[in-house]
Copies of this chain bind each other. A is one copy, B any other.
Amino acid sequence: MHKSRLAGFIIDCRSDDLEAAARFWSEALGLALRPSAAPEDEQYRLLATADDQPHLEVQRVQHESRVHLDIEADDIEAEVARLEKLGARRVGPVRSWYVMEAPTGQRFCVVRPQRADFAARANRWNSG
Give A contacts to B, CB under 8 Å: 4-6, 9, 11, 13-15, 20-21, 24-25, 27-31, 52-54, 56, 64-69, 71, 83, 86-88, 102-106, 122-123, 125
For the complex, give the distance between the alpha carbons of A24 and B100 in Å.
13
Instruction: Determine if B66 and A14 form an interchain contact, defined as CB atoms under 8 angstroms apart.
Output: no
> Which of B28, B64, B86 is in CB contact (< 8 Å) with A105?
B64
For the complex, give the distance between the alpha carbons of A65 and B103 in Å.
10
> Which of B9, B14, B71, B105 is in CB contact (< 8 Å) with A9?
B9
- Interface majority SS (helix, strand, loop, mixed), chain A: mixed
Number of copies: 2
Instruction: Determine if A5 and B21 form an interchain contact, defined as CB atoms under 8 angstroms apart.
Output: no
List 28 A-B pairs, Cβ < 8 Å. A4-B30, A5-B29, A5-B30, A6-B30, A6-B31, A6-B56, A9-B67, A11-B69, A11-B104, A13-B104, A13-B105, A21-B103, A21-B104, A24-B86, A24-B88, A24-B102, A24-B104, A25-B102, A28-B83, A28-B86, A28-B88, A52-B52, A53-B53, A65-B104, A65-B105, A65-B106, A67-B69, A67-B106
For the complex, give the distance between the alpha carbons of A5 and B27 in Å.
10
